[in-house]
Amino acid sequence: MDAQTRRVVAVTGANRGLGLLTVRALLERGDEVIAHHRTDSPELDALREKFGERLHPVRGDLTEETTAQAVTERAHALGRLHAVVHNAGIAKDQPLVRMPVEDWDEVIRVNLRSAFLVTKHAVRMMMRKRYGRLVYVSSLSAVVGNAGQTAYAASKAGLHGLSQATAQEYARYGIRTVVVAPGLLDTGLAHALPDSVARAKADRSLLGMGSAESVAETVAFLAGPGADNINATVVHSDGGIAY
């Protein structure tokens, strides 16, 4: 594929877990990827060595508007931005009554403010091209809640509202949005859970704990042209929840 015709996809929170796997899936499909990361990542460096100039790292704190601008400036340099996958997120789990206000604010800033900022700047570029895909990585916690995850669940649920409103505002410009809501995955934040808690969460799914690689392939598909008729919806990648 010619360098000028490759799809360009930006992925936030690309230095580990599902974000890193999504970057790899997109690169393997032949896309150019702008990979936002806040911390060092030897794995991202390894992908850079393997795929060369098709991977464009952008480092910074995405809760600051200058970092969101830097992501789209890299896209401007490439001349196009087909899709954004917003995956950046953190969790600070504890019962609501014991949660410091500072922890609540940080989770909302990282998980939701950053989504607003990257969307704001990406949409401006997509409007001019009259095409764009916005894929927000949420969580099952946003849909059914989860004890001890009030800030995380609230921030991820906010992505659903952001996606719906953005879809209505910008559909006429060819911009489509979708939310992916995974269940418990075998990577990332799940590793911070006690084994007993992780098992209990996995048991809610008919298929048990999910494969992050499989979800990354789903995200990559939703960022691609095959999903152009999918809009303003939530894709549940949770193995089927057994209530």
Query: Is 170 noted as a catalytic residue in this protein?
Result: no
Q: Which of 152, 170, 173, 243 is catalytic?
A: 152
3-class SS string, the chain: CCCCCCCEEEECCCCCHHHHHHHHHHHHCCCEEEEEECCCCHHHHHHHHHHHHHEEEEECCCCCHHHHHHHHHHHHHHCCCCEEEECCCCCCCCCHHHCCHHHHHHHHHHHHHHHHHHHHHHHHHHHHHCCEEEEEECCCHHHHCCCCCHHHHHHHHHHHHHHHHHHHHHHHHCEEEEEEEECCECCHHHHHCCHHHHHHHHCCECCCCECHHHHHHHHHHHCCHHHCCCCCEEEEECCCECC
Burial category of 40 from C-beta neighbours within 10 Å (exposed 0-12, middle 13-18, buried 19 and up) = exposed
Catalytically active residues are 152
